[in-house]
């Protein structure tokens, strides 16, 4: 274990000498501090930085870590993950401090955000600029990087409806390249990074995106930034729509307890939302340890205070299995189970 941690330390030191930047590094970091579910054991090493050199540092870091076979997990706002109680072996690259300054191309209704920008901050920036298109995201927890990776959706809109281009750090030797994601327009090769390149891709809604699906899920990549194609709009109307969405989330109890939003994906073939099916089967309120199927929302599991990741996983499996038994439907979790599970 010590040699393994030493080799992580050596890689970090080496990358910082090549790309000087202030980096926060913690060993044995409890991941419950970094997830909205407030569960998750320790990561062997956790790294975060908001400095301009961060993407270049990451390029070299990923390069070296892959060579040394050190696993790396990319974390955004931790709003869609359940991290195991045993935690994460290897390194967590936390992108949530890699935030704006957001850019606006002169005379264009396009906003560019660094991937760690919170989703809600991005929607507010669009409002401030008098640009319409991100209202549906107001109040959604997480980061822009996570939202692009997940193709997050709500209120009948999804990220791919407004995404113009993304800059990604990608392993060029990866079997899945960028061609499925859209048109490649620019490649930057960070010095000494042989494998990881920064590629700017104009995304295309018809390629690789689907319900809670993005082409990035198949790639070994870190989303660095994302640009959104918006329209000039009336600020009062934009603000009103955002407020309506925030209020709707509040009314649905989204912010009452630690959670990760919807647990299961919806599927048109079921004829109704997953939450309604769970409700009709009387599964609301089902408990395991400190985890509970929210009494106020069929498709949300909440941490009532002392939940373990294991409780959340058990309850997820239990609900899916009861639904299958009673209806034959196979529920697919939307939340991601990350880390070491027994």
Ligand X SMILES: Cc1cc2nc3c(=O)[nH]c(=O)nc-3n(C[C@H](O)[C@H](O)[C@H](O)COP(=O)(O)OP(=O)(O)OC[C@H]3O[C@@H](n4cnc5c(N)ncnc54)[C@H](O)[C@@H]3O)c2cc1C
Q: Give the residue numbers marked as catalytic.
A: 262, 334
Helix (H/G/I), strand (E/B), else coil: 242: helix
Residues in region 90-119 near ligand X by CB under 6 A: 95, 115
| Closer CB to ligand X, 15 or 147, in the complex | 147
Under the binding rule (CB under 6 A), the answer on residue 149 touching ligand X is yes
C-alpha distances in Å from residue 252, one per residue of 180, 242, 340: 37, 16, 32
Least CB distance to ligand X at residue 156 (A): 11
Choose one: 39-47, 59-67, 144-152, 274-282; the region binding ligand X (CB under 6 A). 144-152
- Cβ-based burial of 75 (10 A; exposed 0-12, middle 13-18, buried ≥19): buried
Least CB distance to ligand X at residue 73 (A): 6
Under the binding rule (CB under 6 A), the answer on residue 301 touching ligand X is no
Residues in region 18-37 near ligand X by CB under 6 A: 36
Least CB distance to ligand X at residue 189 (A): 19
Under the binding rule (CB under 6 A), the answer on residue 42 touching ligand X is no
| Closer CB to ligand X, 125 or 259, in the complex | 259
- Give 206's contacts (C-beta < 8 A, 6+ positions apart): none
- Give 110's contacts (C-beta < 8 A, 6+ positions apart): 104, 164, 227, 228, 229, 230
Interface mask toward ligand X for 193-222; x: CB under 6 A: -----------------------------x
Under the binding rule (CB under 6 A), the answer on residue 122 touching ligand X is no
Under the binding rule (CB under 6 A), the answer on residue 254 touching ligand X is yes
Least CB distance to ligand X at residue 223 (A): 4
DSSP state of 19: S
Helix (H/G/I), strand (E/B), else coil: 55: helix
| Closer CB to ligand X, 64 or 119, in the complex | 119
List 227, 260, 291, 315, residue binding ligand X (CB under 6 A): 260
C-alpha distances in Å from residue 58, one per residue of 81, 168, 325: 22, 11, 46
Sheet bearing 301-303, strands edge to edge: 287-288, 291-293, 301-303
Under the binding rule (CB under 6 A), the answer on residue 298 touching ligand X is no
- Give 175's contacts (C-beta < 8 A, 6+ positions apart): none
Secondary structure (DSSP) of 246-315: HHHHHHTTTTTSS--SBSB---GGGSS-HHHHHHHTT-TT-EETTEEE-TT-TTBEEE-SS--HHHHHHH
Under the binding rule (CB under 6 A), the answer on residue 78 touching ligand X is yes
Beta bridge partners of 292: 287, 302
CA distance 40 to 312: 11
C-alpha distances in Å from residue 134, one per residue of 153, 166, 237: 11, 16, 12
CA dihedral 141, 143, 146, 147 (to 10 degrees): 70
**How many residues line the site for ligand X (CB under 6 A)?**
30
Under the binding rule (CB under 6 A), the answer on residue 146 touching ligand X is yes
Helix axes 2-18, 54-67, angle to 10 degrees: 140
| Closer CB to ligand X, 109 or 169, in the complex | 169
Under the binding rule (CB under 6 A), the answer on residue 190 touching ligand X is no
Provide Rg for the chain, Cα atoms: 20
| Closer CB to ligand X, 184 or 336, in the complex | 336
List 48, 63, 80, 166, residue binding ligand X (CB under 6 A): 80
| Closer CB to ligand X, 127 or 159, in the complex | 159
List 240, 336, 340, 341, residue binding ligand X (CB under 6 A): 336
List 40, 55, 87, 142, residue binding ligand X (CB under 6 A): 142
Q: Which residues bind ligand X (CB under 6 A)?
A: 36, 74-81, 95, 115, 140-143, 145-147, 149-150, 152-154, 222-223, 254, 259-261, 336
């Amino acid at each position: 274990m010590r040699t393994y941690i030493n080799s992580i330390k050596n890689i970090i030191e080496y990358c910082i000498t090549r790309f000087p930047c202030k980096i926060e590094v913690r060993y044995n970091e409890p991941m419950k501090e970094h997830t909205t579910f407030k569960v998750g054991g320790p990561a062997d090493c956790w790294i975060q930085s908001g400095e301009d050199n961060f993407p270049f540092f990451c390029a070299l870091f990923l390069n070296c870590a892959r060579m040394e076979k050190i696993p790396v997990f990319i974390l955004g706002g931790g709003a869609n993950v359940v991290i195991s109680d045993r935690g994460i072996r290897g390194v967590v690259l936390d992108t949530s401090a890699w935030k704006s300054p957001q850019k606006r191309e002169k005379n264009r209704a396009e906003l560019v955000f660094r991937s760690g920008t919170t989703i809600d901050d991005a929607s507010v920036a669009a409002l401030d600029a008098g640009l319409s298109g991100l209202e549906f995201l107001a109040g959604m927890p997480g980061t822009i990087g996570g939202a692009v990776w997940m193709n997050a959706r709500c209120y009948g809109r999804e990220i791919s409806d407004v995404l113009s281009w993304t800059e990604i750090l990608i392993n060029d030797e990866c079997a899945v390249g960028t061609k499925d994601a859209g048109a490649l327009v620019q490649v930057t090769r960070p010095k000494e990074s042989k494998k990881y390149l920064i590629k700017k891709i104009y995304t295309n809604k018809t390629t690789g995106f689907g319900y809670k699906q993005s082409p990035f899920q198949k790639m070994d990549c870190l989303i660095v930034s994302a640009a959104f194609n918006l329209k000039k709009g009336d600020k009062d109307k934009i603000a009103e729509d955002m407020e309506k969405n925030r209020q709707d989330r509040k009314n649905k109890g989204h912010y009452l307890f630690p959670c990760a939003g919807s647990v299961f994906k919806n599927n048109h073939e079921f004829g109704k939302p997953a939450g309604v099916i769970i409700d009709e089967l009387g599964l609301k309120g089902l408990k395991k340890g400190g985890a509970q199927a929210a009494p106020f929302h069929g498709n949300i599991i909440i941490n009532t205070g002392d939940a373990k990741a294991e409780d959340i996983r058990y309850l997820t499996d239990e609900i899916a299995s009861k639904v299958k038994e009673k209806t034959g439907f196979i529920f697919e979790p939307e939340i991601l189970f990350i880390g070491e599970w027994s």
